Amino acid sequence: MWCSSGRFHRHHGHGHGHHNHDHGQGHGHGQDSRNNHDQDDDHRYDGHGQLDHVISGYDMMVSKDGRGNYTRVSEAIENAPNMSLTFYNIYIKEGTYEENLYIHRTKTNIRLFGDGAHRTIIFGNRTNNETNGPTIEIHGERFQAANMSFVNDAGLTAGQANAVRNVANNTIFYGCSIEGYQDTLYVVRGSQRYENCEIYGTVDFIYGNAAATFLDCEIYARHRGIVTYTAQGRERPIDRSGFLFQRCNFTMSPADYGRKSDVKATFGRPWRAYSLVLIIESYIDSMVDPIGWLEFPDQPTDKLTYVEYGNVGPGSNTDGRVKWPGVKAFHHLPELLLFLSEDYPWISLSHNITWNLN
């Protein structure tokens, strides 16, 4: 649904965050019994990333006040079953947990859910050059997170510092806030979905080579002279990967909105030659430069694909976009669908964008 300004309605709150580039490849006792915990805002998902019903219980509870199974999230993850075939629900009560989490590949079907973005917060401040740098690093397939924040507060001048490094396949984030500066969200590979999320950053802050879908998300630039939202890393024409944004807002963070005129933002730049990004039915704010896209050092601009369709807002006019051969603006849905069916048949555009990676 549209509101009068052309921006999409959101059902989650707006957070204010916590206050030279070369990407490297990403490198107490618990109780086992199920506990009862009714909470109307905790969501559960089916295998396709859709909400199915409200969680009515959890397997482990983490609480800073000592009333749960653990006081640290990392302890709950360590004591979750290995290679689980069903979801293992870890409820994290409201609070700020200063931890760096690692989801090992043997920790499959882990689901973390909190009391709300900006209420349940996983907080780190390490750079990618430090041991266990990301605030959370995920290798376990079918990981899910809902209603919580992942923050890397290394700072504006710290360089590369992941809040989330996601290496796993079939993962979902819903109603989460992912906050950082440079390289906030590293979507390394696999199928990944981010819905009703907020993502904050400054330089290439959504990057990687996953098949990553962003639905109804706030893509928040923080205050910096030059901002690049994405750096997509598709390396080969046969790679079924790329970034797809639908019904998102490309704008300034609430805390920095008053300084919007100081910022020149672009949608991104090609980290690898066959970079693929689609921006569909989204709001583009005024600080997005008319050129739309920037070059990446030592990467060509004649093999990438950057698509816009059905966008609105003061930055949505495509007349001034860079004239690279793969930069395309579609004004009619049948044209877009024909283009996708011919060149990217693994992308299915319907009510929500989906990938066919088989």
pLDDT band with cut points at 50, 70 and 90 for residue 11: very low
CA–CA separation, 318 and 308 (whole Å): 8
Percentage of residues in the chain having pLDDT higher than 90: 78
Return the residue matching tokens 């930069």: 327
pLDDT band with cut points at 50, 70 and 90 for residue 80: very high
Give which of 339, 337, 294, 291 is closest to 318, Cα–Cα.
Answer: 291
Q: What is the pLDDT of residues 237-255, one digit of tens each?
A: 999 999 999 999 999 999 9
What tokens appear for 299 in the block?
């990467």
Candidates 42, 59, 153, 183; catalytic one: 183
What tokens appear for 180 in the block?
């950082």
The predicted structure's pLDDT at residue 31: 34
Beta strands 283-284 and 101-103 are unpaired
* Distances in whole angstroms, Cα of residue 271 to Cα of each of 175, 179, 185, 308, 346: 28, 21, 14, 19, 22
Q: Nearest 10 degrees: CA dihedral of 298, 301, 307, 308?
A: 90
Contact in structure between 118 and 15 (CB atoms under 8 Å) = yes
Kindly state the DSSP code that residue 181 receives in the 8-state scheme: S
Q: What is the pLDDT of residues 32-63, one digit of tens each?
A: 333 433 333 333 333 334 433 345 589 999 99
141-150, 191-200, 340-349: least confident range: 340-349
- β-sheet with 264-268: strand ranges across: 101-103, 136-138, 164-166, 185-187, 203-208, 226-232, 264-268
Is 90 exceeded by the pLDDT of residue 7?
no
The predicted structure's pLDDT at residue 345: 84
CA–CA separation, 38 and 56 (whole Å): 5
pLDDT (mean) for 305-319: 98
Contact in structure between 95 and 120 (CB atoms under 8 Å) = yes
CATH number for domain 202-358, candidates 2.60.40.10, 3.20.190.10, 3.10.310.30, 2.160.20.10: 2.160.20.10
The predicted structure's pLDDT at residue 173: 98
pLDDT band with cut points at 50, 70 and 90 for residue 348: confident
Q: Which residue has the higher pLDDT, 7 or 174?
A: 174
Every domain of the chain with CATH number 2.160.20.10 lies at 29-196, 202-358
* Residue 46 annotated as catalytic: no
Is 50 exceeded by the pLDDT of residue 182?
yes
Kindly state the DSSP code that residue 9 receives in the 8-state scheme: P
For residue 343, give the H/E element and its range.
helix 333-343
322 dihedral zone (left: phi>0; alpha: psi -120 to 50; beta): beta
CB burial class (10 A; 0-12, 13-18, 19+) of residue 72? middle
Candidates 59, 204, 285, 289; catalytic one: 204
pLDDT (mean) for 92-97: 98
What is the residue-averaged pLDDT of the chain?
A: 86
Report the sign of the C-alpha dihedral through residues 339, 344, 345, 347, in that order. negative
Q: Which SS3 state, helix, strand or coil, does residue 149 take? A: strand
pLDDT band with cut points at 50, 70 and 90 for residue 352: low
CA–CA separation, 215 and 282 (whole Å): 10
* Residue 183 annotated as catalytic: yes
Is 80 exceeded by the pLDDT of residue 2?
no
Enumerate residues 6+ apart whose C-beta is below 8 A from 99. Answer: 72, 73, 74, 122, 123, 124
Is 70 exceeded by the pLDDT of residue 312?
yes
Percentage of residues in the chain having pLDDT higher than 70: 82
Q: What is the CATH number of domain 29-196?
A: 2.160.20.10
pLDDT band with cut points at 50, 70 and 90 for residue 358: low
What tokens appear for 300 in the block?
């060509």
Q: Which SS3 state, helix, strand or coil, does residue 11 take? A: coil
The predicted structure's pLDDT at residue 347: 81
Q: What is the pLDDT of residues 207-219, one digit of tens each?
A: 999 999 999 999 9
CA–CA separation, 210 and 166 (whole Å): 9
Enumerate residues 6+ apart whose C-beta is below 8 A from 301. Answer: 270, 295, 322, 324, 326
* Distances in whole angstroms, Cα of residue 105 to Cα of each of 108, 140, 192, 257: 7, 4, 16, 39
pLDDT (mean) for 165-191: 97
pLDDT (mean) for 293-312: 97
Please name the residue ranges forming H helices in 44-188. 73-78
Is 70 exceeded by the pLDDT of residue 334?
yes
The predicted structure's pLDDT at residue 15: 38
pLDDT band with cut points at 50, 70 and 90 for residue 3: very low
Give which of 245, 214, 219, 354 is closest to 310, Cα–Cα.
Answer: 245
pLDDT (mean) for 155-175: 96
